[in-house]
Amino acid sequence: MTDTLRPVDTAALPEAPAAGTRKLKRSIGVVGGTLLTLSCVTPASTLFVVVPDLFGSLGTATALTIAIGSLLCIAVAFCYSELGTLIPSAGGEYAMVSTMAGRLAGWLVFVLSLLVVMIVPPVIAMGTADYLAPVIHLDPSLAGAGVMLLATLAGLLDLRANAWITGVFLVLEVIAAAVVAVLGFTHAERGAGSLVSMQVAGPSGGTDTVTAMLVVSGLAIALFVTQGFSTAVYLSEELENPRRNVARTVLATLAISSVIILVPVVAITLGASDLSELTGGDISAMVTAWSNSAVGTFVSLCVALAIINAGIVMVIQNSRVLFASARDKAWPQPVNNVFSRLGRFGSPWVATLAVGIPGAALCFVNLDTLYGVTGVSVTGMYLLVAVAALLARRGAHRHTPAWRMPLWPAMPVLLIGVLAYILSEQETQYLLWTGGITAAATLYWALYLRPRKDTRWLVEIPEDERVQGLS
């Protein structure tokens, strides 16, 4: 196993903290944290942007696949909740895994999480153009890049202000999802048995059967559908009473987002006029057919706002990961000095720009490649978190005050096996892309970070978190 973390001897660090660096401030409770995290899951924009691709490959098996993915995410949420209360750090996954499984494992999960946080926002943002079409026609890549830049500007503001902004937008997207669900159920064309019929429209207009292996392959994207619930741990340094509220926020967000996404998916499956329409995945056209153009336009505009909302929250939360990596000295010191700076409103402004601007550029990359790499990265990241959860009760951690998952260690063991199998069923090209990036990161670790283990990659929990109790 890799060398594990030890308490940091500050006297051994010759480099002074960057000017303008200070701790993130605690300003939000469970409600604010849940609103921010739900907005990062962005259930309505996920429903309208990501789920149509699942309909295209899985047809009537889409709801079943998402339901299985949501059940798997319960085990993932348990792992995040226990580790997030043991290690309440803005570094999220990498802080948790580094502490439990060693510095190399933590570094690799950081790289995977960085892939996810850089790719997911532009994937969602590129869906904006489709839902602004009733008002204005825009190129998807340009519209996505514009959303990313707007989200970056909003991300520079105070976190509490953004919690209220995103909360208002979240209400609109939940309304849009509810309208779709009601319309789908009231125009049902088939019975509940179709949800397990495993059928998809074939290229020649016939009907093809969805195999179990195709469902397993689709689970990587299904995990991505609700993936944002885990980002609650990124806010752990800004949540009040993190050892209690992190777990509440993670579990509440998963439960709410699963319902908001799965219920409309079931309604769409039942309400689509035929298998070809369902496989086509044009939800806006279905809504218009079920109601009228005015309702269709309303839903489309709500989704467009939801996507903008998601972009804002993702940039906010993802910038915290980059900020924490600089504070933990993952990079050469000049880079650490820049990324760890906080601005006038208490936000890590350079890290925010570093997440948002490249995200705008990624809007011009092939969408299928972004989906594939994200699915592999999310699965691999969850796998490493599950390994860390398996190690979370050894040594001194056994007695640390924290939320503890039920059915340990069976829960993380089962999760590790299932995730490893899902990973093995992904397309080779996406495994190679992600594997190549991971190999380059390992080389950086071997040549730069490991030889400087006393001054680089010093993952630590802020001191006030070490002594904070559960109450």
**Would you say residue 7 has pLDDT above 60?**
no
Q: Give the pLDDT confidence score for residue 182 in this predicted structure.
A: 95
**Would you say residue 111 has pLDDT above 80?**
yes
**Would you say residue 159 has pLDDT above 70?**
no
Average pLDDT over the chain, rounded to an integer? 83
Q: Give the pLDDT confidence score for residue 1 in this predicted structure.
A: 35
How many whole angstroms separate alpha carbon 192 and alpha carbon 432?
A: 39
Query: What is the model's pTM?
Result: 0.79
Q: Give the pLDDT confidence score for residue 67 in this predicted structure.
A: 94
Q: Give the pLDDT confidence score for residue 27 in this predicted structure.
A: 57
Residue with the larger pLDDT of the pair 317 and 406 = 406
Domains and CATH numbers, the chain: 26-460 (1.20.1740.10)
Amino acid 304 reads A
Q: Give the pLDDT confidence score for residue 410 in this predicted structure.
A: 93
What would the mean pLDDT of 130-136 be, rounded to a whole number? 82
What would the mean pLDDT of 409-434 be, rounded to a whole number? 93
**Out of 153-167, 270-284, 286-300, which region has the weakest mean confidence (pLDDT)?**
153-167
What would the mean pLDDT of 79-100 be, rounded to a whole number? 85
Secondary structure string (H, E, C) spanning the chain: CCCCCCCCCHHHCCCCCCCCCCCCCCCECHHHHHHHHHHHHCHHHHHHHCHHHHHHHHHHHHHHHHHHHHHHHHHHHHHHHHHHHHCCCCCCHHHHHHHHHCHHHHHHHHHHHHHHHHHHHHHHHCCHHHHHCCCCCCCHHHHHHHHHHHHHHHHCCCHHHHHHHHHHHHHHHHHHHHHHHHHHHHCCCCCHHHHHCCEEECCCCCEEECCHHHHHHHHHHHHHHCHHHHHHHHHCCCECCHHHHHHHHHHHHHHHHHHHHHHHHHHHHHHCCCHHHHHHCCHHHHHHHHCCHHHHHHHHHHHHHHHHHHHHHHHHHHHHHHHHHHHCCCCCHHHHHHHCCCCCCCCCHHHHHHHHHHHHHHCCCCHHHHHHHHHHHHHHHHHHHHHHHHCCCCHHHHHCCCCCCCCCCHHHHHHHHHHHHHHHCCCHHHHHHHHHHHHHHHHHHHHHHHHHCCCCCCCCCCHHHHCCCCC
Q: Do the Cβ atoms of 359 and 399 come closer than 8 Å? A: no
pLDDT tens digit sequence for 215-245: 988 888 888 788 778 778 877 777 777 777 8
What would the mean pLDDT of 436-446 be, rounded to a whole number? 95
How many whole angstroms separate alpha carbon 20 and alpha carbon 22?
A: 7
**Would you say residue 404 has pLDDT above 80?**
yes
| CA nearest to 376, candidates 119, 50, 163 | 119
Count of CB atoms situated within 10 Å of the CB of 399: 8
What would the mean pLDDT of 325-336 be, rounded to a whole number? 89
How many whole angstroms separate alpha carbon 160 and alpha carbon 229?
A: 19
Q: Give the pLDDT confidence score for residue 467 in this predicted structure.
A: 39
**Would you say residue 422 has pLDDT above 50?**
yes
What would the mean pLDDT of 7-35 be, rounded to a whole number? 53
Query: What confidence category does residue 419 fall into, taking pLDDT thresholds of 50, 70 and 90?
Result: very high
* Strand extents, DSSP E, 176-279: 199-201, 207-209
Q: Give the pLDDT confidence score for residue 24 in this predicted structure.
A: 58
What would the mean pLDDT of 236-263 be, rounded to a whole number? 84
**Would you say residue 470 has pLDDT above 70?**
no
Percentage of residues in the chain having pLDDT higher than 70: 88
Q: Give the pLDDT confidence score for residue 283 in this predicted structure.
A: 87
Query: What confidence category does residue 11 fall into, taking pLDDT thresholds of 50, 70 and 90?
Result: very low
**Out of 102-111, 184-193, 244-253, which region has the weakest mean confidence (pLDDT)?**
244-253
**Would you say residue 14 has pLDDT above 60?**
no
Q: Give the pLDDT confidence score for residue 135 in this predicted structure.
A: 82
pLDDT tens digit sequence for 366-400: 888 888 898 899 999 999 999 999 999 988 788 88
What would the mean pLDDT of 88-102 be, rounded to a whole number? 84
**Would you say residue 270 has pLDDT above 80?**
yes
**Would you say residue 21 has pLDDT above 80?**
no
**Would you say residue 463 has pLDDT above 90?**
no
Query: What confidence category does residue 198 fall into, taking pLDDT thresholds of 50, 70 and 90?
Result: confident
Q: Give the pLDDT confidence score for residue 452 in this predicted structure.
A: 92
**Would you say residue 80 has pLDDT above 70?**
yes
What would the mean pLDDT of 13-42 be, rounded to a whole number? 62
Q: Give the pLDDT confidence score for residue 164 in this predicted structure.
A: 66
